[in-house]
Every structure is written in structure tokens, then in C-alpha cells.
Chains A and B, each alone.
Chain A
Amino acid sequence: MNRRRGRWSSVVLYAVLTVFGLLFLIPFVWILSTSLKGNEQIFTIPPEWIPSRFRWENYAEVFRRMPVLLYLKNSVIVTVLQMIGIVGSSSLVAYAFAILRWPGRNMLFGVLLATMMLPMQVTMIPVFVLFKQFGWLDTFKPLVVPAFLGGGAFNIFLLRQFFLGIPREIADAARIDGCSEFRIYWNIMIPLAKPALATVAIMTFMFSWNDFLGPLIYLSEKEKSTLALGLSMFVGQQTNEWALLMASSLLMLIPMIAIFFFFQKYIIQGFTMTGIKG
């Protein structure tokens, strides 16, 4: 890098970085701050950043007005099943596209890439009608079963790229030793692909946990609602109860932030692995 670049330009650089960093972080502080306030502190100008008294009872109030634990249970069921289905089926399919040779492979891979561009609205209505005919409305099946069938074009693509990077000799050697394809997949490829599988699992978690349109269409009973859907109904009922809305949003955010800090590496990797080639 250019060593003659002045001290000033690096001061400006760090100043700009810091300003943006603060701008991005302020809303998080604001959620926490609002969630601990009473109405008399919320509706004040200029806003109070640190409330004079922390109203932890706002969180208790959220639990009283909204069946948080029920929604949480539903969200966990849907998210976990989607993660299992997507990691399992996308790795299997990616193995077929990356390692195995079979007629029609390249043509079908082209179809797979094309489906990434397809707006889900085009398939949404007939799929809804189909699930209605199956009698699956107000169950988790419409959200979970498709996850086991393919696991999404993006995930298959990501895992295929990863499998292609594993030296062919490893699978070939196992084949010569009489290892079946399924055992090569399960005992050799899956352990090697752990980082990529972790990426897919975490991205799936992020998506399912926040998914809104799916639950909105398929789950109309309150007992089946997920956290995202429950929160959106809560918004409709609690106008101007900002402390409660921020407290409930924060409850939904905590797992996301925790996962992000623990598994940041895999999330970043997921983007760099797929997005760079163009």
C-alpha cells in the first residue's frame, strides 16, 4: 500500500468508519432502552437514553399478553425440522451434481440454477391449493415437508461448489476399496464438508426463524403461530405500546444475535464461497 498516504487521510478513514459503526449500532441500543421504559419516559423529547428506572416488568407483561412460550415452541419445531431437512437433502443432491456422473446431470443443473430466479409468487397459489387439498393447512407440514425435498437451489449450489473443491482422488480411492456411493457420501464427504454444512444450517436458521410469508399463508390458528407471525399480530393489537413491542422484538432477536456471534465465521464464508465467482 502507499506509505506516503498522510496521517490525515487515515484519521478521516477511521472517523468515517466509526460514524457508520455508531449509526448501525444505535438502533440496537434504542430497542433495549425503549424496552425498559414506562410510557412517561417513552414520550419525552429529547429522548432519554438510559431510563431513570429499568422497568423489567415490561418483559413479564409481554409474556402475559402474548403466548411467547407457545410461539417459541412452534418456531423451534419448524426451524429445527427445516434445518434437518435442508442440510440432509441439499447435501445429498449436491453430491449427485458434484461427484456422480449420470445422464441429464448438466441439463438438470441448469434447471436448478434457473429456479433461483423464479419468484415464489408464481408457485405460491397452486402450492397453497395443493396443501389445502391434502388437508395440511394449520399444520407445520407445508413449511417442513418441502425442506426435505431438495433443500433450496442456493444451498445445493453452495454445497456443490464445496464438494467440487474436494480432491477427486479421495472418493476414487474409496471406490476402488469397494466402498458404496452412499458410504462415500456419508462417511467421507459429509465429515469433510462440515464447515459448508454448518454454513447451510446457520443460513437456514436465519431464514426460517424470520420467515413470515410461509407462516402467514399456512398458519391461521393462533395455537400454531410462529414467533415472527405472532409478533406481527402483536403489532396490530398493541398500537403505541412501544416498550412492549421493543421487548418482544428483542426476545425474538436474542437467538439471532447469539448465533451470529458464535458462528460468524460460517456466515461470512457462506457469502464469499458463492458470491465471488459472479
Chain B
Amino acid sequence: MLGFVFASPWIIGFLVFGLYPMVMSFYFSMCRYDVLRIPQFIGLGNYDTLLLRDPYFWTAVGNTLYYTFVRTPLCIAGSLFLAILINRATTGARIYRTVFFLPSIITGVVVSVLWLWLLNPQYGLINSTLQLIGIEGPLWLQSPEWSKPSLVLMSLWSIGGGRMIVFLAALQSVPPHLYEVVELDGGGAWQKFRHVTLPMISPVLFLWVVLEVIFSLQVFTEAYVMTKGGPLNSTLFYNLYLYYKAFDDFDMGYASALAWLLLLFSVLVTFVQFRLGKRWVYYEADPRG
């Protein structure tokens, strides 16, 4: 029984800040609610408007899917690439690890302000460097075509963070004798990577693909600070739209419906990933084998 006492902070926290709000937000999602007046039940009205009559909703969905499905593979591959490089380095590995990790501690508002300046079309570091080698850089965040790639590029600055550290640890835990087997069979570096490294680290890769998809779907701060959703709504991401609906328009019912659709979609995507994961993720039957 003492266990309940020790766990009680979390149990209370879960009831008050987890379960209760989830139930309430489901109820709000079927109401018209502006915080000042009592919620007014309207059934599936919000969902109906969202899915059928709200062009911004579909813009936000499109932008968020674009960001998620472009960013996730790039940042997983990027982190893995750096981890492989560090794993091969015989001297100075710690120094490289520290240097690669450093950008990832800069998050939120600071990284947004910094990249706003780096990506400045006229005087930013990126375009003025491109100009030195005779390339006219794009307008980056000020162009509807380049705004989303700009945000993906910015997030690639931190590929050396926690994800890379975990990949590195996974690479180091691959038993060396497996590589020797490939060598005996006359396999080269690619065969070693494809038939030993990749299967052995696939559980870790899988976990991070699942996590990064969820994180990317929730992108918010960068867009709020850097673009406010523009230009031409090209960075109006799902959570930014939700925030505007909730805290600018005080349309809490509508925003709750948005939140629930996001939850359902996240659960669905995760479920599909676990199904697909069975095909490519290799779990050792006995880790000590």
C-alpha cells in the first residue's frame, strides 16, 4: 500500500493534468466554447466544419505532413551518418561528439532568432556565402516555396544531439565478431553495414522514427517566432493553427476538436509504424546469445 503513497504525486498529477483534461477536451470538442460563457453542446459540428468547410485546416495538415515526412528521414539519416563517422574515429572522438552535440542544446526561441538572421535573404550568412561563390540564394523564410525547407534545414543543425548519442551507443554495442563473419565471406563495408549494423541497431532506429514523427507533428515554436505561419500560410502548421484558434480567437471548442484529431492521427501513425516495423526491425531472441 505504501507504493500508492510514494506514487501519489504522479497519480494526482495524472488525474488532474492528464485524465480529467482529456475527458474535458473531448467534451469541449463537441461544444461552442469561448471560456467566458458556459460550453454549448453542438454535437459533431466542429468536426464537420473542420473536415468539410475549413480550407486552413487542410493547409495546416498539408504543411505539417510535409514537414514531418521530409524532416524525419533526413534527421534520422543525418544523426546515423555522424554517429558512424564518430564511431570510426580512433582519436578525438570525444571532441567531435562534443562539437556535434553543441547545437542541440540551443532550442526554442534562441535557435529561431539565430536562424532568422542566418537565413536573412540579403545579409544573412548563408546567402552572403552563396553570393561569394556566385549563387543567388533563395528568399528562404520569405518565400512560400522555401519556407518549409528552411525550417527543415534549421532542424538539421541539431542532428548531433541526443539522437546521435543513442545511435553511437547502439553502434558500439554491436558485437565485433559479427563483422568478422562478413569479412570471412568476403563482404565489404557496405555488406557489413547492410547485413550487420542496420539489423542490429534497427530497434533503436525504429524507436527514434516513431518519436521523431510525433515530435515533428507538434512543431510550433519555430513557426510562431519566425514566420507566424506565413508567407501565404506556407508555414501554418497544425499546432500553430490550433494555438491561434484557442488563444487568439478563443474558439476553445474548435481548438479542442483540432487537438483530438491530432491525437487520433498520432495514435494511428504510431500503430501503422508498429505494424510496418515488424517487417524491418530485428529483435534478438536472446540479447546475451
Residues of chain A at the chain B interface (Cβ within 8 Å):
1-2, 10, 13-14, 16-17, 20-21, 24-28, 30-31, 34, 42-47, 89, 92-93, 95-97, 100-102, 105, 108, 111-112, 115, 117-130, 132, 146, 148-151, 156, 181, 185, 206, 210-213, 216-217, 228-229, 231-232, 235, 242, 245-246, 249, 252-253, 256-257, 260, 264, 267-268, 270-272, 275-276, 278
A149 to B14, CA, bound (A): 8
Check: B125 CB closer than 8 A to any chain A CB.
yes
Choose among B6, B170, B217, B258 the residue with the greatest number of A CB atoms under 10 Å from its CB: B6
Cβ of A2: which chain B residues have Cβ within 8 Å of it? 183
Query: Given the complex, which residues of A lie within 8 Å of B170, measured CB to CB?
Result: 276
Q: Decide: A150 and B13 in contact? CB cutoff 8 A.
A: yes
Please state if B4 and A102 are interface contacts (CB–CB under 8 Å).
yes
Least Cβ–Cβ distance between A212 and chain B, in angstroms: 5
A93 in complex: contacting residue of B6, B113, B117, B203, CB < 8 Å: B6
Check A278–B10 contact: CB distance below 8 A: no
Q: Considering the complex, give the chain A residue whose CB is closest to the CB of B84.
A: A13
How far is the CB of B272 from the nearest CB of chain A, in Å?
Answer: 14
Contact B214 A117 (CB under 8 A): yes
Contact indicator A112/B106 (Cβ below 8 Å): no
B239 touches A235 (CB 8 A): no
Across the interface, A122 reaches (CB within 8 A) one of B92, B109, B259, namely B259
CA distance A242 to B3 in the complex (A): 54
| Chain A residues within 8 Å of B279, by CB | none
- The B interface, classified by DSSP as helix, strand, loop or mixed, is helix
| Residue positions of B touching A, CB distance < 8 A | 1-7, 9-14, 16-18, 20-22, 24-25, 28, 35, 82, 85-86, 88-90, 92, 96-103, 105-110, 112-114, 116-118, 120, 122-123, 125, 128, 131-132, 157, 160, 162-163, 165-166, 169-170, 173, 183, 203-204, 206-208, 214, 217-218, 220-221, 224-225, 239, 242, 246-247, 252, 255-256, 258-260, 262-263, 266-267, 270
Give the residue name and chain of the A residue nearest to B11 (CB): A108
Asked whether, in the complex, the Cβ of A146 is within 8 Å of the Cβ of B13, the reply is yes
Contact at A123–B108, with CB atoms within 8 Å? no
User: How far is the CB of B105 from the nearest CB of chain A, in Å?
Assistant: 5
Known A34-B117, A210-B108, A271-B166: A150·B10 in contact at CB below 8 Å: yes
Are B7 and A123 interface neighbours, CB within 8 A?
Answer: no
List the 10 closest A-B pairs by CB distance, nearest first: A102-B3, A149-B13, A278-B203, A150-B10, A275-B166, A96-B6, A150-B13, A126-B21, A126-B24, A123-B21
B98: A residues at CB distance < 8 A? 264
Q: A93-B9, A235-B112 are in contact. List 11 more A-B contacts (CB 8 A).
A: A1-B90, A13-B85, A96-B3, A96-B5, A121-B242, A126-B20, A129-B24, A149-B16, A212-B108, A242-B120, A249-B110
User: Min CB distance, A27 to chain B, in Å?
Assistant: 6
**Sample of 28 A–B contacts (CB below 8 Å):** A17-B92, A25-B99, A28-B102, A43-B122, A46-B132, A47-B123, A89-B10, A92-B6, A96-B5, A108-B11, A112-B14, A119-B218, A122-B25, A123-B22, A129-B24, A129-B35, A148-B9, A149-B10, A181-B6, A210-B110, A211-B108, A212-B221, A232-B224, A249-B113, A256-B106, A260-B105, A268-B101, A276-B169
